[in-house]
Amino acid sequence: MQQKSPAYDFSHSPVVDQVGIDERVSRLNSRSIKKSSKVAGLKLALNMIDLTTLEGKDTEGKVKQMCYKAMHLHDHLPGLPGVAAVCVYPTMVRTARKALGDSAIKVASVATAFPSGQSTAEIKIADTKFAVSEGADEVDMVISRGAFLTGNYNYVFDEIAAIKEACGNARLKVILETGELSTLDNVRRASEIAMRAGADFIKTSTGKVQPAATPQVTLVMLEAIRDYYFETGIMIGMKPAGGISTAKGALQNLVMVKETLGNAWLNNHWFRFGASSLANDILMQLAKETTGAYQGGDYFSKD
């Protein structure tokens, strides 16, 4: 741990106490957040969402509709914050950019042969450059899980570094796809590789593989970020993605961030949710707090 990157030996990354993580998660998840602090937490969570559509069937119309939704979450409720970004495939970046106009919402694009990452380095770099040239503010890349699992950590490191270079000014989120990494030790190791190779954010999952952003995985990654910050003074962002669909789950994530990293990370520059259905659940909870009546999905736009 004392060595400076990139001389860091990833085969000796810290091991994770699984039982300890489970205990810590259940302890943090049992915290009760009510009334005004709940409303504040929900609004914060809403402001951290990367509203996402990553389907083979995505069309320009679908992306435009999602961008409209990003800008008009629920006009019946005044005083709502916007989401942080929309997240689309590279070919949809231009459409999203145009649809969002001059709003503050950012455009994030997945790249590097998302979601499998099974392609050559040249194609992944070209994919990234294309996304950035189309106007992406942020790039979500996937790591080569195959190379990682065979122990070829330097390959994974070099690939991330090369993509970071191709990103230019765009912020890079590195997807570890924790559902394919098997163990929390591997999650920790992949986090170390990503952070030291230049990731601005580390992200749990593509959303295409189950399990996705479990609280255990998120906590391990948050602890990796914390340790890296103590070691280097560099802040890294965190983005759990996939599987967080309830307002309660979002609040539990915020509790973990607060307790592990502190207030500095509690904004959408350093923490994001990758989700498609989470926004509506939060909106329904906020409407419940405003009107007193439990809400139904029929009264909220689907996309």
Partner 1 sequence: MERIEIQKTYKLYIGGQFPRTESGRYYTLTDKKGKVLANICQGSRKDFRNAVVAARGAFAGWSGRNAYNRSQVLYRIAEMLEGRRSQFEAELILQGETIFAAKKEISLAIDRLVYYAGWCDKYMQVFSSVNPVQSSHFNFSLPEPSGVVAIVAPQESGFAGLISAIAPVIAGGNCCVALASEKKPLSAISFAEVLATSDLPGGVVNILTGNTKELLTHMASHMDVNALVYCGKNKDEIKLARETAANNVKRVFVYDKNWNDPAEQNPYYILDTQEIKTTWHPVENIGTSGAKY
Catalytic site residues? Answer: 140, 203, 239
3-state secondary structure 104-152: CCEEEEECCCCCCCCCCHHHHHHHHHHHHHCCCCEEEEECCHHHHHCCC
Nearer to partner 1, 19 or 293 (CB): 293
Nearer to partner 1, 230 or 294 (CB): 294
CB of 38 to partner 1, least distance (A): 13
**Helix residue ranges per DSSP H, the chain:** 18-29, 35-46, 60-71, 93-100, 121-133, 145-149, 153-167, 184-197, 215-232, 247-260, 278-291
CB of 42 to partner 1, least distance (A): 16
Interacting residues with partner 1 (CB under 8 A)? 292-299
Cα separations in angstroms, 166 against 26, 50, 156, 170: 40, 22, 15, 9
Nearer to partner 1, 4 or 34 (CB): 34
CB of 178 to partner 1, least distance (A): 27
CB of 293 to partner 1, least distance (A): 4
Angle at the Cα of 227 (from 223 to 228), degrees rounded to 5? Answer: 115
Nearer to partner 1, 48 or 279 (CB): 279
